[in-house]
Structure 1
Amino acid sequence: MIALIGSRRTSEYKGTSSEAILHQYDFLGEFYRLTLGPELVYSYAMWEDGDTLESAQIRKLDHHAQAARATGAARVLDVGCGWGSLMQRLVENHDVGHAVGLTMSPGQAAWIRQKGWPNCEILAENWFDHQPDAPYDAIIAIEAIEHFAGTTMLRRKRVASYRTFFERCHTWLRPGGRVSLQANAWNSGGWFTSLVLPPRRPAGQTANGGSRMRTALKDVRDGFDNIREGMHASRKVFPEVFLPTRGELTEAARGLFRIPEVRSDPDDGVKTVASWLERAQANRARGAELIGDDAVADIIREQRTALKFLRERRYTALRMVFEKV
């Protein structure tokens, strides 16, 4: 979710390393598969009243298929395809002729191959190195771009990395093709202000009815706590990951894509993480057998932090559509 430490960068930087991917999705993934539900969707769902986690996840997959205009398409690319739930749904429910999924996780690639879904092609490779056999009609990237810029503190380098991704997409897509993207995204001020500024309160209201001085001191302590918890998540759960801002993605796509749709859905994140956390706690003993109690504790701690940050609107579930120009 959050990364707040420096990293090495070169002109050929390709995002999160293979070692970090193995930790996040192959090692910790043994536990996540106990908590995500049968679809194995590890990204924020789209909720409506009466939803279960499973039905909300299906709604999210359908949203991106429709936003990318993928229904009935000949070829669709899923960047960061996870355990393949979107690929399967594109082919089986949206009449896509051929779905291609990219993942750097050997475990996820093996899982998808074992399923043997018709017209679903899985490639265990970095998007940076992808060379398609033919153009795509649509591209979908759900909570993948967080892996593309490493942990650099320099905004211009992050934007350059995102720009490389959008340049690739522009090359891969047919004229007028769309990218439907979902990301965990900081507020407009970026990571630091998102973490250290106090939650928004109604005018004149102080926390817990206390004095302005006590409220200010509490806000300072909370800011330091937020940074500490973010760094813990960075080291233990999401190494080499950094959240973008909407402005960074908009700037990176300029001249390549127009943006016909933008949504900010923090409550979708709240409901999804709350569901994951409940299931993680219920499966803690079995998870400890698979990956160890410390690793399970790190995941639960990260999910509690994510829930707090989403409720306080420190970051959001950002959904954007990019149309090739």
Structure 2
Amino acid sequence: MAVNTSTRLRPQRHGSGLDPLMQDLLERADIRVNGDRPWDIQLHADNAPERALAYGNLGLGEAYMDGDWDVEQLDEFFYRLLRSGIQEQFQPLRLIFHSLRARLLNLQSLRRARQVGEAHYDLGNDFYEAMLDRRMTYTSGYWRNADNLDDAQGAKLDLICRKLALQSGMRVLDIGCGWGSFMEYAAEHYGVECVGLTISQEQVRLGSERCQGLPVEFRFQDYRELDETFDRVVGIGILEHVGRKNHRTFMETVHRCLSDDGLCMLHTIGKNKRVAAPDPWLDKYIFRNGDLPALVQISDAAEDLAVIEDLHNFGADYDHTLMAWHRNFEAAWPRFRDRYGDRFYRMWRYYLLSCAGMFRARQVQLWQLVLSKRGLVGGYRRVS
């Protein structure tokens, strides 16, 4: 979204209403106020920086949604902001309750788990069809040998199938199956039977249509309610919704449902620090009750239940995926403007591009873990 340069204000050190602390922090990230570079911030309201100082990313994001500031390349703005580390210099007091709430309460209980499905995944199947790849895969692609979104997502799905050593006739559980892209691919290319769990009614409806004729079953069901045996278990983008209070329960479910000689593959975004609280803006507007796991939290939850056979980090690929989603979103937006409105447009643009900047700055990671129940005799052979 281009910035109207004719309305830019000239930056001033004093008398502009800009907090000197905020000005100094931005300069450390090589971001200028009302500058002429595509990552420079253009202020339309003097109180926008103060909202960020008071409420962190929640205040910054809401000010953007209100039109109080703009940046031509929002992804590059966030990359520079986060790579500089200035966000670690202050912790707004008003967000302490948000942090404590995430630590002390189970925000992903069975009763609350379906909230994100209703608020996010049920936005509209046609909306996600326009933004995602042709298989409707709502997790990062694998860009090692790909130059477009469809190929990157196909490469990711095949990578998972090979890591799981799928064979025809196997029964596979997909926890958090989305619209069924993995199940569809695995059934078509590897001849397996799949059961997928989701907490989105819209995903069940469209996924069932897309997988018609394949040995694929969609269930509107929480993972905690399942007690069946499968040859393989996969979770692609589910741990981000499980929550720290439920990591152990999730691993117990995997252990209960996985055959003794089976394999589990978990594909998840992760945070660098165990103590980090969920981002307040993303929690309020995008992924309600989301909680990224740290690697040590996954390891702790798996203790005595599983052996981690393999760990693969390709977090930088999520940057490419988010930018591809953003291009599709911008191209399709005229079809959805009347339905969702301009505030939604700014919210969604902020979501996609700020997250791209986070992955580019390596503030968050993307891990694939392969687990077995007791360790594979002879070891696990790495697949890439």
* 1:123/1:285 CA distance change after superposition, 3 Å: same
| Aligned match of 1:300 | 349
* Contact 2:170/2:231 (8 A) holds in 1: yes
Shift of 1:46: 0.6
TM-superposed deviation, 1:69: 2.4
Q: 1:244 to 1:114 in 2, by over 3 A?
A: same
1:162 aligns with 2:211: no
Per the alignment, do residues 78 and 276 of structure 1 end up closer, same or farther by CA in structure 2, a change over 3 Å counting?
Answer: same
Alpha-carbon distance, 1:295 to partner? 2.1
Is the CA contact 2:231–2:259 (under 8 Å) kept in the aligned structure 1?
yes
The structural deviation recorded for 1:274 is 1.1
User: Is the contact between residue 265 and residue 318 of structure 1 (CA under 8 Å) also seen in structure 2?
Assistant: yes
1:191-235 Cα distance to aligned partner (Å, 9 max, x none): 26xxxxxxxxxxxxxxxxxxxxxxxxxxxxxxxxxx9xx322221
Match of 1:105 in 2: 200
Give the TM-score of the pair, scaled to structure 1.
0.79
Shift in Å, 1:288: 2.1
- The alignment status of 1:174 with 2:259, answered yes or no, reads yes
8 Å contact from structure 1 (residues 44, 269) kept in 2: yes
Off by >6 Å, runs of 4+ in structure 1: none
1:236-272 residue CA offsets vs partner (Å, 9 max, x unmatched): 1111111001111011001111111101112111111
Q: 1:302-323, CA deviations, whole angstroms, 9 ceiling, x for partnerless residues?
A: 1111011111110011111111
Match of 1:243 in 2: 292
1:289 CA displacement: 3.0
Q: Are the counterparts in 1 of residues 175 and 198 from structure 2 also a CA contact under 8 Å?
A: yes
Q: What does residue 185 of structure 2 align with?
A: 89
User: Alignment partner of 1:27: what SS?
Assistant: coil
**Quick check: 1:170–1:256 contact (8 Å CA) kept in 2?**
yes
Match of 1:38 among 134, 150, 156: 134
Q: Is the 8 A contact 2:274 2:297 kept in 1?
A: no
- Quote the Cα distance in structure 2 between the aligned partners of 1:319 and 1:12: 22
Cα deviation for residue 16 of structure 1 reads 5.2
2:225 to 94, 119, 129: 129
Q: 1:266 to 1:16 in 2, by over 3 A?
A: farther
Contact 2:108 2:289 in 1 (8 A): no
Residues 16, 45 of structure 1: CA spacing in aligned structure 2 closer, same or farther, 3 A cutoff?
A: farther
Whichever of the two has the greater Rg, that structure is 2
Cα distance in 1, alignment partners of residues 250 and 214 from structure 2: 28
Matching of residues 46-61 of structure 1 within 5 Å: 46-61=142-157
Mapped to 2, the partners of 1:129 and 1:12 lie a distance apart of 14
Instruction: Give the corresponding residue for 2:18.
Output: none
Any idea what SS the aligned residue of 1:72 has?
coil
> Which residue number in structure 2 is paired with residue 143 of structure 1?
237
What one-letter code is carried by the residue in structure 2 that aligns with 1:269? Y
Structure-2-length-normalised TM-score? 0.67
C-alpha contact (below 8 Å) 1:44/1:268 kept by paired residues: yes
Please state how far the C-alpha of 1:38 moved relative to its aligned partner. Answer: 1.2
Q: Which stretch of structure 1 is more off in the superposition, 59-68 or 39-48?
A: 59-68
The separation in 1 between residues aligned to 2:249 and 2:175, in whole angstroms, is 14
One-letter amino acid of the counterpart of residue 233, structure 2: I
Q: Give 2:254's aligned amino acid.
A: C
Partner of 2:209: 114
The one-letter amino acid of 2:268's match is A
Q: Return the alpha-carbon distance in structure 1 between the equivalents of residues 315 and 170 of structure 2.
A: 33
User: Structure 2 stretches of 5 or more lacking a match?
Assistant: 1-56, 59-94, 375-384
Q: Which amino acid aligns with 1:45?
A: G
* Paired AA for residue 231 in structure 2: D
Asked if 1:187 is matched to 2:281, the reply is no
CA displacement at 1:12 relative to structure 2: 9.3
CA contact (8 A) 1:31 1:290 kept: no
CA distance in 2, matches of 1:48, 1:18: 34
Whose RCO is larger (CA < 8 A, sep 6+)? 1
Question: 1:48 deviation in Å?
Answer: 2.2
Structure 1 residues 311 and 125 mapped into 2: Cα distance closer, same or farther (>3 Å)? same
- CA distance in structure 2 between the aligned counterparts of 1:11 and 1:300, rounded to whole angstroms: 26
Asked if structure 1 preserves the Cα contact closer than 8 Å seen for 2:108 and 2:241, the reply is no
The farther-off stretch of 51-60 and 279-288 is 279-288
Once the two structures are aligned, what percentage of the paired residues are identical? 24
The one-letter code matched in structure 1 to 2:196 is: G
